[in-house]
Structure 1
Amino acid sequence: MRRLLHELLESLRIALAQIRANKTRSALTALGVVIGIVSVTLMGTAILGIDAGVNRSLAGFGDDVLYVTKWPWREVDDWWTYRNRPRLKTEYARQINDWIAAHPEGPLRVAVPVADTAGTIIRGDLRLNNIYTLGTTPDLARISRADMKEGRFFNEVESRGGRNVIVVGFDVADALFPNESPLGKTVRIRTQQYTIIGVTTRQGSFLGLFSWDSMVIMPLNAFRRNFWVGNNVQIRVQADGARMDEAREELRGLMRRIRQIPLEKRDDFEINEQKVIREQLDPIKRGIALAGLAITGLALFVGAIGIMNITYVSVKERTKEIGTRKALGARRRTILLQFLIEAVSISLAGGIAGLLFAWLCTLVTGFLVPSFPPVFSFGLLVTGLAVSIVAGVVSGFAPAWSASKLDPVVALRYE
């Protein structure tokens, strides 16, 4: 064991000396590995960034919430079937809450009606168009994960009375009141004046997903005075996070009873949850992974061929040295380790350079595109180093093996 350790250290010293003696050649040889490691690392940061962006965008809406809607959150084939479904009613939330109150041990916690539309918000000469406007109840604050930057959410008295109070997202507040607090200020939505009583913290958006930042929330009764509560109604139901499957089936059965759907009829509503959105992003992640693997594979193949070629050249250049060392008693294992470690060292140096470059690209991307949060994880670092080592071993083994098998007599006479 001690002898093997000594051979490893000596082989590493010789390998580093050879790399220093041929810096330009070693750098050009490692270039293919650099490109490959950059590719695999950036692919990983992109995939992890998609997951992080989606999680950040959806975090404010709660992972334990089921959404009863008219339309499914997926691509549909029979458009008219869904188009002709009867619309949902906000009264369903009260009926669900009555059932929850009668069954406190059940998997459902609270139901919240939500009506939405695209509204225009005006403050003096400033106008924001197509702002996602919600009409709901105070229970929405219970099931969401959005924190308040300033002010508060509206209460039960304001909700039942339909008072013209609103909670606005960070971006809405920043656009209408760039240099002042919006609390207590009024804005016009259609023909009504609304007082701002709260501003949510900045959440961020990703791939066009909904975000609290660009929303306006008002009491449902106030919403009814200004907007038509029609097809854009959903019931958000908070469930026990550990019993989501049970909660989904319980809610489905409850909705069928509320809508009086016969046993032989299919559901005329949809129960959605956040995992549907995440599943729809899987093809994007697979596409990035396939493209990254293709580029990575090609770059690493070119890099491995380069390392193998240079290692063969190094063997030829040092044939006499190999013969001398073998004549003095060097084992085949020692010669094999010497050239194998040299190949791995070049590949590992290229891998480290590639990881550094990928890390810099991640920092620049995060600075230039804040909505896309690339993630450079420890797992990617380990993967990049492991790929570099494997590439070096695979590419360097054949020339190292040929060097170890040289006949010392033939090697000493080599010119």
Structure 2
Amino acid sequence: MVVLTQIIESFRFAWNALRMNILRTVLSLLGVTIGIFAIISVLTIVDSLEKNIRQSLDFLGNDIIYVNKWEFLPDAEGVYKWWEFMRRPNVSYFEYKMLEENLQHSAAISIFADRGGHTLKKGSNSMESVNLTGASYSYKDTKELDIEKGRYFTPTEAAAGRNVAIIGSEIAKTLFPGNPSPIGETMKVKNIKFVVIGVLKFEGESFLGTPSADEVCIIPYGSFRKMYQTGTGSSNELGSNIAVKGFSSDIGLIELENEVVGTMRNLRGLKPKEKDNFALNRPEALGKVLDGLFNVLNMAGWVIGGFSILIGGFGIANIMFVSVKERTSVIGLQKSLGAKNYFILFQFLFESIFLSLIGGGAGLFLVYLITLIPMGSLEVTMSLSNILLGLGVSTAIGTLSGIIPSAQAANLDPVIAIRS
């Protein structure tokens, strides 16, 4: 009950201080407001960027190792040796089958190839710039496919290379307008008829513009090979990719990666001292690069906002010293009536924290206004953790700024204080 009374009294004193000298208080709190705004705005934007970028990379999957000729990232020295990679052979269908038969630490394995710029037709309706993907039956196990209508192709359809297709929602709307379920309808890809057996759920545009399921057409790998030369292993053909999914128990996919490397080197007849002529790419590698970038941005936000908060802390301390000076006689009167030192200490300390929270709350409000500004495909949201962080930093600054003035007030001699 005593603590509650102290808090209410400190709020009353703080409010009176604000009313008595609004300009002085606002100028003093401006540093905390700008500091909290700088820190939380950077953290909010960086968190939103990270969330949107990682969502854009979800199409790569989790616990996946991609086997192909091209590396995702430069080497340790920052050099991307494309002139070496282009001479490598592409992965072949034979290698895919051998990996499928011999790998012991894989949960699933698939082979697929992509080619963009296709025009799909249905009567007088057509859609351009469609990404055509030829995939083996196990593609559904290495990539999350959210089929809203219809089904995936069967093992028989995949093995025989039947002309069946799973299309994105935008393709379905464009080629079959007014048809709520185009399952069983036919369309043409490179003047070849395909039967629609499935429609993927709408995804929307990604932040990075990465491949969206809305404008993709998936057909069996055998059907794709009838259109394009791929899967033979030649370095001049359209490249295929092998996706190998590991078990969650294989931490870091170390066992699976070693097994894939050993099998591929054996299949390609590489000698012990020869370098790998294939690439093993992990989506986690991109995540580590992003982590480093976001850590730098977060640090920049703390540095920029830290100086403003430091200035704001001195401003609040200045207000508290002035408040102690103005209310010295009141402090002496309170002590003469039996007020304990801790009561005086908490009275001014709560006031300092309250003033700092006002500045921090103003900074958070400015960050909230930023989240209301449309930024295209970038969705900016202020998380609860960042709000609590802003309030926590404000409380810490208020405590540090007010502790010395509060202690000075608590240690005043009541007789001398009343005389002043």
User: Does TM, scored on the shorter chain, surpass 0.5?
Assistant: yes
The CA deviation at 1:333 is: 3.0
| 2:14 paired residue number | 19
The CA deviation at 1:275 is: 0.4
| 1:286 paired residue number | 295
The answer to whether the 8 Å contact 1:121/1:187 transfers is: no
Partners of 2:309 and 2:177 in 1: CA distance: 51
Pair 83,150 (structure 1): closer, same or farther in 2 beyond 3 Å: same
| 1:233 paired residue number | 240
The answer for unaligned runs of 5 or more in structure 1 is 101-105
Partners of 2:142 and 2:376 in 1: CA distance: 27
The CA deviation at 1:247 is: 0.8
The CA deviation at 1:397 is: 1.8
The answer to whether the 8 Å contact 2:31/2:311 transfers is: yes
| 2:107 paired residue number | 109
| 1:49 paired residue number | 48
The CA deviation at 1:378 is: 3.7
Greater alpha carbon shift after TM alignment, 187-196 vs 15-24: 187-196
For residue 393 of structure 1, the aligned residue among 368, 392, 399 is: 399
The answer to whether the 8 Å contact 2:125/2:175 transfers is: no
Matches within 5 A, 1:362-377: 362=371, 364=372, 368-369=374-375, 371-374=377-380, 376-377=382-383
Equivalenced residues, count: 400
Q: Classify the secondary structure of the residue corresponding to 1:241.
A: coil
Residue 142, structure 1, aligned to residue 141, structure 2 = yes
Q: Classify the secondary structure of the residue corresponding to 2:249.
A: helix
The CA deviation at 1:31 is: 4.0
TM-score, normalised to structure 1, is 0.86
Pair 71,300 (structure 1): closer, same or farther in 2 beyond 3 Å: same
The CA deviation at 1:179 is: 4.5
Matches within 5 A, 1:177-196: 177=176, 179-181=178-180, 182-196=182-196
The CA deviation at 1:183 is: 3.2
| 2:70 paired residue number | 71
* AA at the equivalent of 1:116: D
| 2:233 paired residue number | none
Pair 74,330 (structure 1): closer, same or farther in 2 beyond 3 Å: same
Matches within 5 A, 1:96-245: 96-100=99-103, 106-123=104-121, 124=124, 126-129=126-129, 131-177=130-176, 179-181=178-180, 182-204=182-204, 205-229=206-230, 230-243=237-250, 244-245=253-254
The CA deviation at 1:278 is: 1.0
Partners of 1:210 and 1:291 in 2: CA distance: 32
The CA deviation at 1:177 is: 4.6
Greater alpha carbon shift after TM alignment, 233-242 vs 184-193: 184-193
* AA at the equivalent of 2:267: I
Partners of 1:310 and 1:142 in 2: CA distance: 64
Pair 282,179 (structure 1): closer, same or farther in 2 beyond 3 Å: farther
Spell out, residue by residue over 1:198-247, the C-alpha distance to the aligned partner (whole angstroms, 9 max, x if none).
12123452323334333221111221222332242110112212112111
Q: Classify the secondary structure of the residue corresponding to 1:335.
A: helix
Pair 323,39 (structure 1): closer, same or farther in 2 beyond 3 Å: same
Partners of 2:215 and 2:28 in 1: CA distance: 51
The CA deviation at 1:156 is: 2.4
The CA deviation at 1:373 is: 4.4
Pair 147,53 (structure 1): closer, same or farther in 2 beyond 3 Å: same
For residue 404 of structure 1, the aligned residue among 402, 405, 410 is: 410
Greater alpha carbon shift after TM alignment, 275-284 vs 120-129: 120-129
The CA deviation at 1:353 is: 4.4
The CA deviation at 1:117 is: 1.6
The answer for unaligned runs of 5 or more in structure 2 is 231-236
Spell out, residue by residue over 1:60-95, the C-alpha distance to the aligned partner (whole angstroms, 9 max, x if none).
553122110111111252332222212221221111
Q: Classify the secondary structure of the residue corresponding to 1:120.
A: strand
The answer to whether the 8 Å contact 2:228/2:238 transfers is: no
* AA at the equivalent of 2:386: L
Partners of 1:391 and 1:97 in 2: CA distance: 60
Partners of 1:287 and 1:202 in 2: CA distance: 35
Partners of 1:278 and 1:50 in 2: CA distance: 13
* AA at the equivalent of 1:404: A
The answer to whether the 8 Å contact 2:229/2:238 transfers is: no
| 1:258 paired residue number | 267
* AA at the equivalent of 1:227: Y
Residue 380, structure 1, aligned to residue 354, structure 2 = no
The CA deviation at 1:36 is: 3.0
The CA deviation at 1:370 is: 7.3
| 2:61 paired residue number | 62
Spell out, residue by residue over 1:162-193, the C-alpha distance to the aligned partner (whole angstroms, 9 max, x if none).
23322122344345556533434444433434
Partners of 2:174 and 2:36 in 1: CA distance: 42
| 2:351 paired residue number | 342
Partners of 2:378 and 2:157 in 1: CA distance: 38
Partners of 2:58 and 2:115 in 1: CA distance: 22
